[in-house]
Structure 1
Amino acid sequence: MAGAANSKQTEIKKAPIMISLIIGAFFAILNETLLNVAFTDLMNDLQVSTATVQWLSTGFLLVVGILIPVTALLLQWFTTRQLFLGAMTLFTIGTVICGIAPTFSFLLIGRLIQASGTGLLIPVMMNTVLVLFPPDKRGGAMGMIGLVIMFAPAIGPTLSGVIVESLNWRWLFFIVIPFALFSIAFAALYLKNITDITKPKVDITSIILSTVGFGGIVFGFSSAGEGSHGWASPEVYLTIIAGAIALILFVIRQLRLEDPLLDMRAFLSPMFSLATVLVIIVMMTMFSTMIILPLFLQGGLALSAFVAGLALLPGGILNGFISPLCGRIFDKFGPKVLLIPGGALLVIVMWLFTNVTTSTSVFQFIVLHSLLMIAVAMIMMPAQTNGLNQLPRKYYPHGSAIINTLVQVGGAIGIALFISILASGQARYLSSVGDTTANIEAAALTAGVQSTFSIGLIFAILAFILTLFMKRTVAPEEVTEQ
């Protein structure tokens, strides 16, 4: 009877805990893309250059990339409630600073504080799902997280366009503040701790190596992707080299420590390793579209930033609706019924994208982008959930931190790689014709975009091959209990 009562109590607690996490994370992650359409206004108002304003995105990515690895340690030192409330408080303070910022420096400081909160939230959400739900129920819960992680950034540019046109860029922050405060109040009332506090030894050397390693990789690739530096810049390649060396030393140290910051032994679980590689490849494939498509819609089809953002909205909405559905299908039937068709759809869509031109209709772009986001929904969360399911409970914080860190690194690499491919494709075309009329510029952009999607197609094919090897798994202790 006592067991039944405890079980019932746990069931009652799940909904408010998940609602608390989802509300806060939605608005925190929304801010990753909310500023993209407002960059021109910010440059004019605050009198800064394109290279300078890009730091609002690069700095955000950098802080998130540095913080996520440390969450594996923080999750063992602080309760779920303490971490979430701390993260949301940081995010809210940063949002207020951004809204009232008199100069660009203040805006950047506020943006970095926002990123500190966001970097803590995603691993906290995933780890909570792993602890709170048994393996056969995790798919649906992870699907709800997928809705937040994918839908929030997808609607960011569209929402930003509406707000900037109607009001001004400061309202991008003012509108978020009441929701952030509501999230803090709701969590203070309903969010309970459900994780184990073990307080492992803090290894300062690991934190330093992690910060230099992940920070160097994210900063280096993000700087190259901005276009103002390029791969030949010492700031880019020296930072990437330093980051790579620090990461190698970091991994070696983790394997030797009794209480590692990120336990690399999680990779001994084959489905976790496979899922991690698959998720990174899919993220890079998605970035080939999420970054390049708005550029092509504006530069090739001459659409406004707002209309270009609006064209991407149906795909974001579809992804949001389908992610929870895919989670429930995963719980019932396992990963293969989603991953293999999703991988096949991804290959088809990327192949169709390689044939786009300036005569391709906006409607076709909307359909292709929507199909892409459906494919991503069928792969991302099911793959992550299946991989994390194989880990023993003690590896939950490490597994969620590893995947989320590598997704950030993969995102930064994806942006830089595909922007570089676009630029080189344009340059090759222009050098072959020796002219720079408006029509030639559009044709050069088309050539660059087709080159980019061709590389994206290769990544999609690799992702499809990996889906063929994915098997349904549960954690070792789950097998023992059964």
Structure 2
Amino acid sequence: MNNPGSEVKSQYKDLGNIKRLPILITLVIGAFFSILNETLLNIALVDMTLDLNVPYSTIQWLSTSYMLVVGILIPISALLVQWFTTRQMFLGAMILFSAGTLVCALAVDFPVLLIGRIIQAFGTGLMLPVMMNTILILYPPEKRGAAMGSIGLVIMFAPAIGPTLSGLILEKFEWPWLFYFVLPFALLSVVIAAIYLKNVSEVTKPKVDIISIILSTIGFGGIVYGFSSSGEKGWSDPEVYITLIVGGIALLLFIWRQLVSKEPMLNLRAFLSPMFSLSTVLIIIVMMALFSTMLLLPIFLQQGLMMTAFAAGLLLLPGGILNGFLSPVTGKLFDKFGPRVLVIPGAAILVLVMWLFTRIDLETGSGTLIFYHCIMMVAISMIMMPAQTNGLNQLPRKYYPHGTAIFNTLQQVSGAIGVAFFISIMSAGQKDYLANSEDPTSTTELAKALSAGIHNSFYIGMFFAIFALVLAFFVKKTKAPEGE
């Protein structure tokens, strides 16, 4: 009788002949420019409203649709990575992304530009799970930290430098050059993948559950759309709360169907692994803090401190660069010392920096804000990839596609929820301040109102960080189950 563990060992032995570094570089290049597009347009949206002659509420869909499509597609990717080879998935994702980028660059009106963004998002939605699933298969648990640290560099660094890079390009060129700049790198990734990328995943072709796909699309899509729209339309708008209710019901039905199905599209039994569940909650909190801060700080810098968009982007650049350099370092430290020595101090630092952000005002200097932002990015690099890698390490091999899909889906959903939630708190704080102001229309009072709203948001963020710190004390080093 064959020992199940021997089959796994033989697979790792076969993979030992594959050169991992070229594959890792290929994945990082492709994913970097895919994720970069989530924030690359943020500063350009104002220029686009004038050039394309559409209101801001319309142009905002260039960002919302991207997050919406990625949020919908990632859960389905758990099924797709078992139907197609690594090369087919990655090359298909990057070809789609490149085609969408070209459509955006050549677009002369908003509908064509929106179609291009949606095509780009399809590529990104396929890219993220393939990248993480490939890393899990290529690297044994004791070496995953460093590899996942490289992925952390992509996931954190790319969106962090997006606004700065966008401002730099727009200083000299029109907005289509944002896409012309990305296109050569996307095509380069396709060429490198065609040469170096090997098939490492196992094609099992499980049963396709159409009902689960529909429920997943309505559930995750409805929730991401509802929260993304709430910042613009308000929570009382029927389109917002009806979408959230429908999405919530569909998501509950999706969860029920996955639990009773013999071949679930997204195997939620991964949550039976305690450290995976704990890591999931930590990642949700960190992503909410990251996405909301990336939106709150630029608003405060531009509308409170009256900085230009490019200057605001430059101020946030040091923290983004620092996070990018630290992600591989924390990955190697994770391999050597385990998660606790990183996650617990990281969560404590996150609590501290959220408290520091509640103290900022209109007199706060640029150097202080840069310092605070850098501290926050250090904290996130200490929590994000170590917690995620530790959680995934506890899963059996057959759950890898499902675990990575769950993490990537919840990152998108929590990012959308975090932005909407904290913007709503900020807006409420502004209204409360102006309601008690003697001169609510003056520029000074409006700036002070914004500062009050920002404080409220960061206070709530601090309470989330305290919760993350409590959870961090329960983190334990994991190892892969016997006979994965």
**TM > 0.5:** yes
**Residues 348 and 12 (structure 1), Cα distance of their counterparts in 2 relative to 1, 3 Å cut:** same
Alpha-carbon offset, residue 12 of structure 1 = 4.8
1:104-135 CA distance string (max 9 Å, x none): 00000000000000011111111111111010
Q: 2:143 aligns with which of 137, 146, 165?
A: 137
- 1:193 is paired with a residue of what secondary structure? coil
The answer to whether 1:254 aligns with 2:276 is no
The answer to whether 1:50 aligns with 2:65 is no
Corresponding residue number in structure 2 for 1:242: 246
Alpha-carbon offset, residue 7 of structure 1 = 4.8
Q: 1:125 aligns with which of 121, 126, 131?
A: 131
The answer to whether 1:428 aligns with 2:432 is yes
Q: 2:267 aligns with which of 259, 263, 268?
A: 263
CA distance, structure 1, for counterparts of residue 165 and residue 16 of structure 2: 37
Alpha-carbon offset, residue 11 of structure 1 = 5.7
Corresponding residue number in structure 2 for 1:34: 40
CA distance, structure 1, for counterparts of residue 481 and residue 455 of structure 2: 45
CA distance, structure 2, for counterparts of residue 138 and residue 5 of structure 1: 17
Alpha-carbon offset, residue 10 of structure 1 = 2.4
Tell me if the contact between 1:288 and 1:456 (Cα under 8 Å) persists in the aligned partners: no
1:257-305 CA distance string (max 9 Å, x none): 1110110100000000000011001111223311100000011111000
Q: TM-score, normalised by structure 2?
A: 0.96
Q: 2:454 aligns with which of 442, 449, 453?
A: 449
CA distance, structure 1, for counterparts of residue 214 and residue 15 of structure 2: 41
CA distance, structure 1, for counterparts of residue 124 and residue 14 of structure 2: 32
1:51-98 CA distance string (max 9 Å, x none): 000000000000000000001000100011100000000000000000
- 1:231 is paired with a residue of what secondary structure? coil
Tell me if the contact between 1:288 and 1:453 (Cα under 8 Å) persists in the aligned partners: no
Gaps of at least 5 residues in structure 2 are 1-8
CA distance, structure 1, for counterparts of residue 329 and residue 311 of structure 2: 29
Structure 1 vs Structure 2 CA RMSD: 1.4
CA distance, structure 1, for counterparts of residue 383 and residue 210 of structure 2: 36
- Counterpart mapping for 1:224-303 below 5 A: 224-225=230-231, 227=232, 229-303=233-307
Tell me if the contact between 1:131 and 1:194 (Cα under 8 Å) persists in the aligned partners: yes
Corresponding residue number in structure 2 for 1:472: 477
- Counterpart mapping for 1:157-168 below 5 A: 157-168=163-174
Paired positions, count: 475
The answer to whether 1:194 aligns with 2:200 is yes
Gaps of at least 5 residues in structure 1 are none
Corresponding residue number in structure 2 for 1:313: 317
Corresponding residue number in structure 2 for 1:180: 186
CA distance, structure 2, for counterparts of residue 8 and residue 414 of structure 1: 43
The answer to whether 1:66 aligns with 2:72 is yes
Q: 2:332 aligns with which of 325, 328, 352?
A: 328
CA distance, structure 1, for counterparts of residue 138 and residue 401 of structure 2: 13
Amino acid at match of 1:305: A
CA distance, structure 1, for counterparts of residue 360 and residue 378 of structure 2: 20
Corresponding residue number in structure 1 for 2:341: 337
Amino acid at match of 1:166: K
Corresponding residue number in structure 1 for 2:5: none
CA distance, structure 1, for counterparts of residue 252 and residue 94 of structure 2: 33
- 2:125 is paired with a residue of what secondary structure? helix
Corresponding residue number in structure 1 for 2:463: 458
Amino acid at match of 2:467: L
CA distance, structure 1, for counterparts of residue 69 and residue 125 of structure 2: 7
CA distance, structure 2, for counterparts of residue 179 and residue 6 of structure 1: 31
Amino acid at match of 1:389: N
CA distance, structure 1, for counterparts of residue 400 and residue 443 of structure 2: 54
Q: 1:389 aligns with which of 381, 390, 393?
A: 393
Tell me if the contact between 2:426 and 2:450 (Cα under 8 Å) persists in the aligned partners: yes
CA distance, structure 1, for counterparts of residue 255 and residue 292 of structure 2: 29
- 2:175 is paired with a residue of what secondary structure? coil
Quote the sequence identity (%): 64
Q: TM-score, normalised by structure 1?
A: 0.97
CA distance, structure 1, for counterparts of residue 470 and residue 187 of structure 2: 45
Corresponding residue number in structure 1 for 2:361: 357
Amino acid at match of 1:271: M
Tell me if the contact between 1:266 and 1:395 (Cα under 8 Å) persists in the aligned partners: yes
1:203-251 CA distance string (max 9 Å, x none): 00000000000000000000012x2x11010110000000000000000
